[in-house]
Amino acid sequence: VLAKNNGTGAAFKFKVWLYNSAFGQWAVLAMASAGTPAGAEVELSVPDNKDLYYVFDINGAERIYIQQTDIDSSGTAEVWAGVNSF
């Protein structure tokens, strides 16, 4: 995912949702860490006037959805997603 914040003064925040047809439902991307082995929802933050790249393992997901959770009204944000299967 490439996320671009074209605004100034505030971060753009978003969550990534994944869909799996075997279960027929959407779920927020969660990642395990040493402090939260069960995983915690991932909310990504892009500082003002920055471009950031994020890489996720989305095995088993057939669809993704990008949910904007926060942005300053003085700017715009853009998100591009790509998939590789190698």
pTM across the whole model: 0.77
Q: Give, in order, the Cα–Cα distances in Å from 49 to each of 9, 27, 33, 70.
A: 9, 29, 29, 15
Band the pLDDT of 32: cuts 50, 70, 90.
confident
Listed residue (12, 45, 14) closest to 29, CA to CA:
14
Answer yes or no: is pLDDT of 85 > 70.
Answer: no
Collapsing DSSP states into helix, strand and coil, what is residue 64? strand
Answer yes or no: is pLDDT of 86 > 70.
Answer: no
Band the pLDDT of 54: cuts 50, 70, 90.
confident
